[in-house]
Amino acid sequence: MSFSIAPACRSWIGLLLTLVASAASAEVHNIDATFEPDFANPQRNQFKNQTPSEGFCRQVPATCESLGLFSLIARIPFEAKAPIQANHADPRQGGMAKVPSDWRTVTVTHASGDTHVVELRIAGIGHETGFPISVGEITGGGWWDDLWEGGAWSYAPAPCLGVGIATAGHHGYNSFWRVPEGAGVCSKKALFDIPIGMHYQYFVYAYELRTPDPLKMESGDYTGSITYTVGPNMDFDMGDVLTPDDSILTLNFNLKVTHTMKVDIPPSGNRVVLEPVGGWQSWLDQGRKPTRLLRDQTFNISASSRFKMNMECQYVMGNNCALWESTAGHAVPLEVSVSLPNGLTDGAGQPVNRRRLLRDGSGTELFQPGFYLDRKVGTLHFEVAREAVDEMLNEGVARNYSGNVTVIWDSELG
């Protein structure tokens, strides 16, 4: 009694999600991130940001790395439309910043209609500041610590946090503030009159990301976008005196996932012979009919993606495959089930132990990894039940039942 199995699996998934800008005049930034399974670190199910930082996080990468931050330069100049008065009472009339520091969501959509959510928040703000006259002229011989209440711009006003790093010259100052989640306005009061002409050449923003679990995402492209407004009382708000020459900042996310999905059958493992427990000796010597015919076949699976399983049959009996005996013209049902290694669960999060494989795929529509599995062992179970065995065996009559079963591990879940 023999039959063959021919495993078939689609062995890779490519996933790219792109958030596309819609405003032609906007400042547009692309953020690229990738996910590839790492056999050396299988528990790490996170995207890796591939976008080179600009500004602050490029200058002090260790500081940003410890905080999980990245920074980009928004090349949107700000120009003071009026002088800044010394000791102004209204924070909006001086140097200030209010940024979207709360988490915001972006829905990204697959061509199939599948959706996932990217979350991000702005976690820092920096300015390349220039002045029409030197700081000494503004302060009457002083320096940057004298110009602002609480010290130089690097001493961040609450609720913002300083980073202890700044660069300065006689006509300009470059610094950065960290912005906690949910922070409101951070403002500096000028202690001297600053004539019209103060400006920001650009601003630097740091961002923090929460990306979807790539192990739960389909292959293909996901698209979506987020747009921030820039200007007084907008998302990026620098007060009423300093106003920008562009009011839109759009972020395009490009997330690429390369999944692993591979199944290996050991040599000669695609030909399986069913036997009773303990072999045929009891039948041959004593005429004692076996209660079951069975065989387990192991396989090695590497998986970072969701998948489903089903099977195709040479001979069919209801929702099962069958074994066929051509001389007698007789068929019996073959029960096929699967046990998957630890780390793979069904759609309800339950372990997969002797889960029946049926021709219509019911019950095996979704298996998902909790982490990347690299060549872990699973088992296919093949069995002919007692009732069918009674039909197959007749003393003194030789019969040979066989059939081909194709077991499919399919990473395309559509």
**The last residue of a domain, from among 229, 258, 287:** 258
- Does residue 2 lie within any of the structural domains? no
User: Which residue from 60, 33, 25 is spatially nearest to 244, judged by alpha carbons?
Assistant: 25
Percent of the chain residues past pLDDT 90, beyond the cut: 64
Q: Convert 68-83 to b/e letters by CB count within 10 Å (16 or more is b).
A: ebbbbbbebbbebeee
Name the pTM for this structure.
Answer: 0.77
Q: Do 60 and 163 touch, CB atoms closer than 8 A?
A: yes
As a residue count, the chain comes to 414
Cα distances (Å, whole numbers) of residue 192 to 82, 128, 218: 14, 20, 59
Task: Kindly state whether residues 72 and 218 are assigned to the same domain.
Answer: yes
Instruction: State yes or no: cis peptide before 83, omega within 30 of 0.
Output: no
Whole-number mean pLDDT of the chain? Answer: 87
| In the predicted structure, residue 276 carries a pLDDT above the cut 80 | yes
| In the predicted structure, residue 6 carries a pLDDT above the cut 70 | no
- Average pLDDT over every residue of 37-44: 80
pLDDT for position 27: 93
pLDDT tens per residue across span 327-372:
889 999 999 999 999 999 999 999 999 999 999 999 999 999 999 9
Number of structural domains, the chain?
2
- Does residue 8 lie within any of the structural domains? no
Strands 12-18 and 220-223: parallel
| In the predicted structure, residue 286 carries a pLDDT above the cut 80 | no
Task: Kindly state whether residues 251 and 271 are assigned to the same domain.
Answer: no
pLDDT tens per residue across span 166-188:
899 999 999 899 999 999 999 99
pLDDT tens per residue across span 259-272:
888 999 998 888 99
pLDDT tens per residue across span 201-245:
999 999 999 999 888 887 777 778 999 999 999 999 999 999 999
pLDDT tier, 134 (very low <50, low <70, confident <90, very high otherwise):
very high
pLDDT for position 284: 58
Task: Kindly state whether residues 320 and 191 are assigned to the same domain.
Answer: no
**The last residue of a domain, from among 202, 231, 258:** 258
- Does residue 361 lie within any of the structural domains? yes
Task: Kindly state whether residues 249 and 270 are assigned to the same domain.
Answer: no
Domain span at residue 218 reads 15-258
| In the predicted structure, residue 404 carries a pLDDT above the cut 80 | yes
- Does residue 3 lie within any of the structural domains? no
Under DSSP, is residue 66 helix (H, G, I), strand (E, B) or coil? helix
User: Which residue from 87, 95, 236 is spatially nearest to 155, judged by alpha carbons?
Assistant: 95
